[in-house]
Structure 1
Amino acid sequence: MKPFLTIAMPKGRIFEEAAKLMRKAGYPLPEEFDETRKLILTIEEAEMRFILAKPMDVVTYVEHGVADVGIAGKDVMMEEERDVYEVLDLKISECYLAVAGLPDVKIKEVAPKVATKYPNVASSYFREQGEQVEIIKLNGSIELAPLIGLADRIVDIVSSGRTLKENGLIELENIAPITSRLVVNPVSYRVKSGVIDELVERLSQIIEQ
């Protein structure tokens, strides 16, 4: 009997796309799986246990071994330097990190303020550009910061660009493309290598189709 695999997955769009991908790979995830409000789900026939978490917490669960495997956005991997293996680009939930702000607004010449929920990514990016900025960490509604005068610019995820447009903001610089990745706990990979390798192989075949 194979050991059960514990998988941490983020709620929302990534969860829906990842569940669809796993079904295509032949894993029997029931349809009600998508509608549940439970935080821990055991799918006996798939020999899997799922932990549903906030996107930023997935890699924490994997790093500490409470989940063997996780699905996390590349943005989280860039922001959170965690001791996990990144084994597969799932090529779902495509978007990108960008710098945005109000059009025709003069930026402060000395240490402009940048609001973001990715302070490490933003700091590294502007340092590479030779710019000194003041980072303001926010957890949500990043687009609000320039509108109320809290920040000169923002660094955030852009998907369709609709949210920026509806709030009168424009994209100024593209930082990096983002997709969701399969990450693995190093100890789990040694102990459950067979079942993890099978998961990676089955998902790889679907992605390449």
Structure 2
Amino acid sequence: MTSDHARTGRPALSAARRAATRREVALAAAHLFIENGYGTTTVEDIAAAAGMGLRTFYRYFAGKEDVLAPLLAIGTQAWADELAACAPDLPLREALSVSYRTATTRTLTAEAIPESRLRPLVRAATQLPALRATWLRVQQDCEAQLIPIIAARTSRSADDLDVALTAAMANAAVRLATELWAATDEPGSAADVVDTCLSRLSAHTLL
């Protein structure tokens, strides 16, 4: 017998609503971090900006250090989606660069975050010990997303060691590039640094 949950899809809807709420709170927190700094922004500030009470906030997040995870995940998901949509005849190295640049531009535009204001936010996520674990967890999830996409683009199995190595190397290059870009005030976009780092991997057989 089919349950009411199976017929109505309520669990999926609840999960979707939860994800949407987490994303909204993360975006509110991001703007506060950009305007006021991570250290001076409190959980109370984030909850107020998101229009919720503290008890509700803690139903969605363990603490302030966890609140950026949904927003960071939006960026990595956008990169994976753009990579999967790249023309199949485009060389993988070029596809990785093009998809990252397109995903970054579209995500920042959609979330109304100028790239110039993104740098201090990424700097906090990559350098503050409280946020570093969240940053690395999102990066690990991104690597797992890249594996089936790279496998499909190279007509290989997702279990192929070269595919796993390529996903790990590409993801590490993008992570390192983003961290290098965030750590300085040098002109140029994160995508420019990503292009440079990915070019260093061109000797790899799949790149």
TM-score by length of 2: 0.29
Give the structure with the larger helix fraction. 2
Q: RCO higher in 1 or 2 (8 Å CA, sep ≥ 6)?
A: 1
Give the structure with the larger strand fraction. 1
